Amino acid sequence: MTKLRVGIIGTGKKKERRDRFGFAMAYEHADAYQALDSCEIVACADLVEENARAFADTYEVEKIFLDYRAMLDEMRLDVVSICTWPRLHEPMVLDACRAGVRAIHCEKPIADTWGGVQRMARAAEQAGVQLTFNHQRRYGTPFVLAKRLLDDGAIGQLVRLESDPGNIYDSGTHYIDLFSFFNGEQRAKWVLAQIDYRQENLVFGAHCENQNLVLTEYENGVFGLIMSGTGDSSPVGCVDKLVGADGVIEVGVTNGPALRYRQAGEQAWVTVDTGGESIHGPGFINRAIADVVTCLLEGRRCQLDVRNALIATEIIFGAYESSRRHGRVDFPLEIDDNPLAAMVEQGILAPAPMTTGGA
């Protein structure tokens, strides 16, 4: 079988300790591709030659590039993984679509503006490219088992989804996307939100608020409630909570188990065995990329498809727009920018500068 030719954009530098300036996600993507008989990593690109060479040496990659566009032009790639900061995703996805690749798997969040998100989705659709985003927690055992409990009727009809993601843009893109996973990929109708941004919080170069309170309603009548506390406090007590007519499921309980549920009328929680997996892994990215490749080869729509990712992303940018407008925002969302970044640039929000080290 001819192997899919894979190229990696943004190798980064592998660190002993990850931080908000770099996770070296390219290495995790590469591990996942190397585990598949159907794929071969043939090229990588990074602005820093030392980083690209270190990555190439680790994975025996035949060719490195300092300009990703040259890689796209020369290497006849089937699949591209984009592992850069969010502000770079839009131009890189558009260039990859023009280069004729078959599939693009991109890190999250999708982009740094709502307009950019929509342009990426349109470009992929017009070019017939499979565009997916690395919301890999959809493949994590705690979340998969939570959905199974819901689908099996353990808590009755789903009424409300709740989350404390810390912030809604970076970490929130995972846990709000999981609302869609639990709720059958239903689109949201509107969002009403307020945020607080008093201390600068840059994650991979993007502004992320300090606190949030977000209410949204999906087309099937299920509500989503997102709210974050301060410091170690959590108003939800877990990263995702599923509230049903006959009980509650909690995933990623603060200082507690990865998964538990309690049925109506019962006092005790039932802790579910997740096979040693936490809400962060291991193995989620390997499963996600394996599914991305399988869907490409079989011509099936992947659950990481951009159309699914748009649901949570519209809520995120819609929440920032609601805070800017001081009112409810009805969907479809009709803005082009990032309202949080715009409010900072315009001086409407004036967070105190980050301290050295990003605290």
* CA 77 centroid distance within chain: 24
Inform me whether the pLDDT recorded for 77 exceeds 90: yes
Predicted local confidence at residue 19, as pLDDT: 55
**In a shared domain, residues 161 and 100:** no
Residues sharing a CB contact under 8 Å with residue 125, sequence separation 6 or more, in sequence order: none
CA distances from 40 to 32, 61, 66, 264 (A): 11, 9, 20, 51
What is the DSSP code string of 210-227?
SEEEEEEEETTS-EEEEE
Of 337, 359, 335, 339, the C-alpha closest to 349 is 339
What are phi and psi for residue 103, nearest 5 degrees?
-150, 145
**In a shared domain, residues 46 and 118:** yes
Q: What is the mean pLDDT of residues 130-159?
A: 98
Give the CA-trace dihedral at 253, 257, 259, 265, to 10 degrees.
Answer: -80
Helix (H) or strand (E) holding 173: helix 172-182
Predicted local confidence at residue 24, as pLDDT: 85
Q: What is the mean pLDDT of residues 86-103?
A: 98
Proportion of the chain above pLDDT 90, given as a percent: 93
**In a shared domain, residues 192 and 292:** no
Predicted local confidence at residue 21, as pLDDT: 55
**In a shared domain, residues 92 and 165:** no
Task: Say if CB 192 and CB 326 are below 8 A apart.
Answer: no
What are phi and psi for residue 241, nearest 5 degrees?
-125, 130
**In a shared domain, residues 77 and 100:** yes
* CA 244 centroid distance within chain: 25
H helix count then E strand count, the chain: 10, 17
Q: Kindly tell me the sign of the dihedral angle through the C-alpha atoms of 230, 232, 233, 239.
A: positive
Task: Using pLDDT thresholds of 50, 70 and 90, give the confidence band for residue 70.
Answer: very high
CA atoms within 13 A on the CB side of 232: 2
Residue 195 — left, alpha, or beta (φ > 0 → left; ψ -120 to 50 → alpha)? beta
pLDDT tens profile 204-251: 999 999 999 999 999 999 999 999 988 778 999 999 999 999 999 999
pLDDT tens profile 33-48: 999 999 999 999 999 9
Inform me whether the pLDDT recorded for 323 exceeds 70: yes
**In a shared domain, residues 41 and 102:** yes
Range of the domain at 233: 137-279+305-359
Predicted local confidence at residue 359, as pLDDT: 37
Task: Using pLDDT thresholds of 50, 70 and 90, give the confidence band for residue 197.
Answer: very high
**In a shared domain, residues 59 and 34:** yes
Number of domains in the chain: 2
Inform me whether the pLDDT recorded for 154 exceeds 50: yes
Distance CA 355, CA 351 (A): 12
Inform me whether the pLDDT recorded for 64 exceeds 70: yes
Q: What is the mean pLDDT of residues 306-321?
A: 98
Task: Say if CB 330 and CB 217 are below 8 A apart.
Answer: no
**In a shared domain, residues 231 and 174:** yes
Q: What is the DSSP letter of 300?
A: P
Predicted local confidence at residue 358, as pLDDT: 42
CATH of the domain at 174: 3.30.360.10
**In a shared domain, residues 195 and 337:** yes
pLDDT tens profile 181-195: 999 999 999 999 999
**In a shared domain, residues 338 and 314:** yes
Predicted local confidence at residue 75, as pLDDT: 98
Q: What is the mean pLDDT of residues 325-352?
A: 98
CATH of the domain at 39: 3.40.50.720
**In a shared domain, residues 221 and 334:** yes
pLDDT tens profile 282-298: 999 999 999 999 999 99
Q: What is the mean pLDDT of residues 288-313?
A: 98
Task: Say if CB 13 and CB 54 are below 8 A apart.
Answer: yes
